[in-house]
Structure 1
Amino acid sequence: MYWTEFLTVALIHLLAVASPGPDFAIVVRESVAHGRRAGTWTALGVGCGIFVHVGYSLLGIGLIVSQSIMLFNALKWAAAAYLLYIGIKALRAKPADPIAAEAALMAGERSPRGAFVTGFVTNGLNPKATLFFLSLFTVVINPHTPLAIQAGYGVYLAFATALWFSLVALLFSQRRVRAGFARMGHWFDRLMGAVLVGLGIKLAFSELK
């Protein structure tokens, strides 16, 4: 009975998650800098961040946020500040000597908890995700759809997001890919830092529509 609705939700989510944004940038950076395990834990953090958006969407809090300029701006500035913090740290990356670069490839320095929290916070604080899930749960999903079914959609969205970014982590954590980046690692860090800073600035000047 709800298959058509579910397939619509899945398609919209696929298009949204495939478009590059803060989640993609942070998973790529963690994967290249710290390896597959860190990238995968970051992807899981991003996936679990989806539950934050699903939770308040089901409770109706998302509607309040969307109608309150002050709450939206508070969330927006918190997210922008976090992206700018990560981006500026990356922009300050210094060249590593070849021995250190090889050692970094051999041993991951990133803790699973740190990688997970980075992914979770990046997704959970994204106000664009707030508006996306609000529109999804108010426009696409029928308000008469049972809460249990809507919660099931939420579980799928979290799982699909984690799976997608785990594949991204798998791709960018390949040893050959990491070795290539390691030779110009500080330039890659600076590039990803510029991307994150750009996303943070764009987010800071975005308006509630």
Structure 2
Amino acid sequence: MSYWGEFLTIALVHLLAVASPGPDFAVVSRYALSFGRKAGYWVSLGIAVGIIIHVTYSLVGVAVIIHQHEWVYLSLLMLGALYLGYIGLTAIGAKPRGKVGEDTPEVTLPRRRKAFTVGFLTNGLNVKATLFFLTLFTTVISPTTPFIAKLGYGIYLTIATGLWFVFLTWLLTQPRVFKKLWPYSHWVDRLMGAILILLSLSLLWEWLQLVL
């Protein structure tokens, strides 16, 4: 039996989801423009590994448990909201930078581990991603689809996500683009920080509505 139709549906839905502005997009853009291409690549890798977490618990059915047990979902929602708020606040206080190539004391390049961790936690604690994969593995993917096919879908989703954000990093750090955007990179930081704070507040509002 061919599963190409199912796979193409998954690929299209995933493309629309990953290309839409959200926490992952915000942190990759911020790190790429503020710290350069390598930092953006490490954040992208962290996001891809975060996808592995979502795929894994979807494959073993944990996503359904998370959705059915409200306290688990609410805990993840709160953690995700607080984390997005934290990195949003750190970004919104960004200071102006000098010209490209200048050593500016206010810019400290993050370690690879930190950039990777930011990407991993941003995606891993994103409850919207949890709901996306829950929907994908319970509605789009047929219950009769064999495990090996589902595993193949998961591998594709992981690789495709990583490649998308690597491409975004590469695009933003093209010399001409980077040189034009660098003088305004602190404003990019502040904008992305504001977006992350708004996303955090939105999640907190959702949490309050569910609790009260």
Q: State the TM-score, normalizing by the size of structure 2.
A: 0.90
- Which residue is 2:84 aligned to? 83
Residues 32-43 of structure 1 mapped to structure 2, 5 A cutoff: 32-43=33-44
Letter in 2 for 1:176: R
- Which residue is 2:127 aligned to? 127
Residue pair 1:39, 1:173 contacting (<8 A) in 2 also: no
Percent identity between the two aligned chains? 50
Secondary structure of the residue aligned to 2:206 is: coil
Q: CA deviation at 1:88?
A: 0.6
- Which residue is 2:45 aligned to? 44
Letter in 1 for 2:135: S
Residues 126-145 of structure 1 mapped to structure 2, 5 A cutoff: 126-145=126-145
Alignment CA distance shift 1:202-1:101 (3 Å)? farther
CA deviation map 1:93-118 (0-9, x unaligned):
2334x2697336xx982222211111
- Which residue is 1:180 aligned to? 180
- Which residue is 2:163 aligned to? 163
Secondary structure of the residue aligned to 2:201 is: helix
Secondary structure of the residue aligned to 1:95 is: coil
Letter in 2 for 1:117: T
Could you tell me which runs of 5 or more consecutive residues in structure 2 were left unpaired when the two chains were aligned: none
Letter in 1 for 2:167: L
- Which residue is 1:102 aligned to? 102
Letter in 2 for 1:190: R
Q: CA deviation at 1:175?
A: 3.1
Letter in 2 for 1:93: A
Letter in 2 for 1:193: G
Letter in 1 for 2:71: M
Alignment CA distance shift 1:161-1:148 (3 Å)? same
Q: CA deviation at 1:190?
A: 1.4
Secondary structure of the residue aligned to 1:103 is: coil
Q: How many residues align?
A: 205
Structure 2 CA distance, aligned partners of 1:186 and 1:131? 33
Bigger Cα displacement from structure 2, 126-135 vs 184-193? 184-193
Secondary structure of the residue aligned to 1:149 is: helix
Q: What RMSD over aligned residues (CA atoms) do the two structures have, in Å?
A: 1.9
Could you tell me which runs of 5 or more consecutive residues in structure 1 were left unpaired when the two chains were aligned: none
- Which residue is 1:61 aligned to? 62
Residue pair 1:83, 1:197 contacting (<8 A) in 2 also: yes
Letter in 2 for 1:151: L
CA deviation map 1:54-86 (0-9, x unaligned):
111111111011122211111011011111111
Q: CA deviation at 1:174?
A: 2.3
Q: CA deviation at 1:120?
A: 0.9
Structure 2 CA distance, aligned partners of 1:187 and 1:198? 16
